[in-house]
Structure formats: C-alpha cells, structure tokens
Amino acid sequence: MDDVIVHGGLVAGQPQDIAIQDGRIRAIAPGLASTAPTRLDATGKLVLPGFVESHIHPDKAFVADRAPGLRAGGPTPQVLLAELKKAFTVDDIAHRARRALREAVRHGCTTMRAHVEIDPYVGLRGVEALQRVQSDCAGVLDLQLVAFAQEGIFHEDVTQGLLREALQMGLPVLGGCPYMDAEQHRHIDWFFDTAEAYNVRLDFHADSSDDPAMLTCTYIAEQTIARGLQGRVTLGHLCTLDMLEAAPRAHAIDLLQRAGIHAISLPATELHVKGRSDAPRTWRGVTRINELREAGVNVSLSTNNIVNTFTPYGHPDLLRQALVAAMVAHLGNLEQMAWLLDLVTVNPARALGLTDYGLQPGCQADLVVLDAGSPAQAITEQVEKLWVLKAGRVVARNTRTSEVLGWGEGF
Ligand SMILES: [Zn+2]
C-alpha cells in the first residue's frame, strides 16, 4: 500500500500524481488510484526533486558577530575565521551546524555535501561535531562530509596527518585548497595521491584569485584525466575563469568538460568577498556559469557560507542562490530560469554521485513542492516551499499568509 500521494503537482510542466511507498516513488502518472493515508494536494504547484547543497560550511556558520566585517586593505575572511576557530568547541560547532541544517531542510534541501575544516586551529573537533550532527539528522537530511584543508597543508606538519585520520574516520571525500599554499601544483599532487590511496572522491576550492597566473583548474583537469578519475572530481569557485581572455577560457572549459569535472558556483560569497581592493574594477568573481553549461560541464550552484566573515547574509536557501545567479550572470530569460533549477537539483546530485535521485519510479522520494506554477515564478517571487519530503516522509511544511489592505474594489 502507498504511504503518501502527492496529487496534481507539475512535473516537467505536466500535472502528475506521485505515489510513494516504503520511502520510494512507486509511480508517477495523472489520475493515479491510491489509498495512501497521507494525501498532499499540490494541484498546479511545481514539484522538484529535493534541493542538493553541494558546497556548504556548517562548521563555521553563524559566527559573523564574533569578528569585524571586511574592509579594503583589512584582514581576509580566512585570517579572521582562523582566529575564531581556535575557540571552537565540539558542542559549539554542533549547535551552529544543527541550526544551519535545520534552515536548509526548511528551505527544501534533502542532501548536502559539507566541508569540514581540519587544521592545527580546530583539529578534528569539526569532524567529531559534524559526525554527531550527521547521525542526529539521519532520515531527514543525507549529510556527506568532506575532509577539508582550508588553511593549506605545507605551513606546518600537522594537517596532513589529521586529514588522513579523518578519512580513516569514514569521510568519503577529500577537499583541497591549492591557493592557500605557495606551491599549488605540489598541493594538488598530494591531494590526488592521497585520494587514490584511500579511494575517495576529490573536491577542491579552486581558483579564487583575479590573477590568471594563479589558474589551477587546467592542471587539476589534466591530473584527473591522467589518473582516470573522470567524474570523481569537483571544483568550487572557479572565479579566475572569469578573468581569462576568450581563447584560453574556452580551452580551460573544454579541458574541464573532457575531465568530467563537476563545477560549483558560489555567487553569494563571491559577490561579498571579491574585488575588495581600492583598484577600479568590475570583477565580481562569479564563474562563467552559462559558458560552462553550454560546453557540457556539469554546473551547480551552492550556498557556501552562512552568516560569517565570508558571507554575513548567507542563508542555506538554494532558491535564493538561483535568484542571485540569475542577477549576476544575466540568466533572466524564461528558458534560463527553467534550467537554473537544475543547478540546485539534478546537477549537484550528479556531482555528489547520488544514484537513486530524481522524479522517476524507483528513486528515493526526496521532493520539494514549491508554491509556484513555473520555475520563473518560483525564482522571481522567492515562493514558499510548501512541503519537503525526505524518503517519503514530510520533514518540513511551510505556509505564508499575507493580506494587502486598503485597496478599493476591482483590485
Ligand atoms: Zn567553500
């Protein structure tokens, strides 16, 4: 017997019923007969597979009130955050991460890849906290953890060992940050060697700079191909791509495509952090979302930072990131706004290697029902997420009420 039926929602533009049994989608068709005890009336509302946050930092969320804000010529957000990390306890990290995850679920997220910082400042306290939160949220949100070297690995002799220890603790992804070490290629080589030794996926914070000489994504793509790791490597940021001339940019994008690299743009953080010097410039740091997609690269959008020195107004709402991307990357045509929602659903699911994700029979019933009749309306009006389902169970429900008062008849 079915457990839930979602009635009349719009799937790929057509009204459909979705029958859910034992946490999975049993059938999708119009007018399904079902005696499911839970019946959700989604008539005329957009139904999407659950949002997937592919790059987010719950361990350093909600600390904006502990440090001064950014200013031209002042300390970088990394420096400000490194100081704060020394005082992070396991309980403090878990408390803030739980708050971030709760907000993400409320906004339609059903799966998340979170970077957990590992360095001499915070040790493995972030891993311990996030593993605790991971088991707390089982059944509500799938949380994939990345062993992430935000501070680089060649400044001291502690971090490399800690990263290996985190992989032994079961983290399935290794995260590098080449621009935090002087020898970027040596940093990248270490991460490839270690990922191969532990048989884990790779996820780099890559190319944060506005200096084309600092570009690393081409080297990472070459290494990916040489080692036969196509499809297992993800790159977040890719800000430097935006500074390249057209020909080298096209070459780099082609290489990323051939290497099966998953690209993740983090527009809210780039818009806050980049172009902060006094020099006149228009660079805002957001990568070439449209060009990457047109070349066949798997592109996603993610939230990255939540209320910290990197993005004081960051909030884990991927519908918001779709609007930010539409504004910054000139993606406002109706057809563009339709595919922008792929960048927060099916594309990041591919980047994370999810195998039973999507709106097809047999897939895990992770769904979000939006209070909109089209993707453009959903993005433009930043509509409410009426229901969020994780494995067929309603894990969040939202309503918004409003009245416009004082207007005469006829309005
Ligand atoms: Zn990040």
User: Measured in angstroms, how far is the CA atom of residue 236 from the centroid of ligand 1?
Assistant: 7
User: Measured in angstroms, how far is the CA atom of residue 304 from the centroid of ligand 1?
Assistant: 5
Beta bridge partners of 369: 47, 387
User: Measured in angstroms, how far is the CA atom of residue 148 from the centroid of ligand 1?
Assistant: 9
pLDDT at 168: 98
pLDDT at 8: 97
pLDDT at 138: 96
Tell how strand 4-11 and strand 14-21 pair up.
antiparallel
pLDDT at 281: 65
The total of other beta-carbon atoms located within 10 Å of residue 402's CB is 5
Angle at 58 between CA 93 and CA 364, to 5 degrees: 125
The structure tokens 């066949």 sit at 296
Angstrom distance (rounded) from CA 33 to CA 41: 14
User: Measured in angstroms, how far is the CA atom of residue 305 from the centroid of ligand 1?
Assistant: 7
pLDDT at 238: 97
Kindly state which CATH superfamily the domain 4-49+358-397 is placed in: Urease, subunit C, domain 1 (2.30.40.10)
Q: Which burial class, exposed, middle or buried, applies to 125 when counting CB atoms under 10 A from its CB (0-12, 13-18, 19+)?
A: buried
Angstrom distance (rounded) from CA 241 to CA 252: 8
User: Measured in angstroms, how far is the CA atom of residue 347 from the centroid of ligand 1?
Assistant: 18
User: Measured in angstroms, how far is the CA atom of residue 56 from the centroid of ligand 1?
Assistant: 6
Kindly state which CATH superfamily the domain 51-351 is placed in: Metal-dependent hydrolases (3.20.20.140)
DSSP state of 50: P
Could you say which residues of the chain have pLDDT below 70?
A: 278, 280-281, 410-411
User: Measured in angstroms, how far is the CA atom of residue 316 from the centroid of ligand 1?
Assistant: 13
- What's the pTM value of the predicted model, to 2 decimals? 0.94
Domain range list for the chain = 4-49+358-397, 51-351
pLDDT at 276: 74
Residue 31's region, left for phi above 0, alpha for psi from -120 to 50, else beta, is left
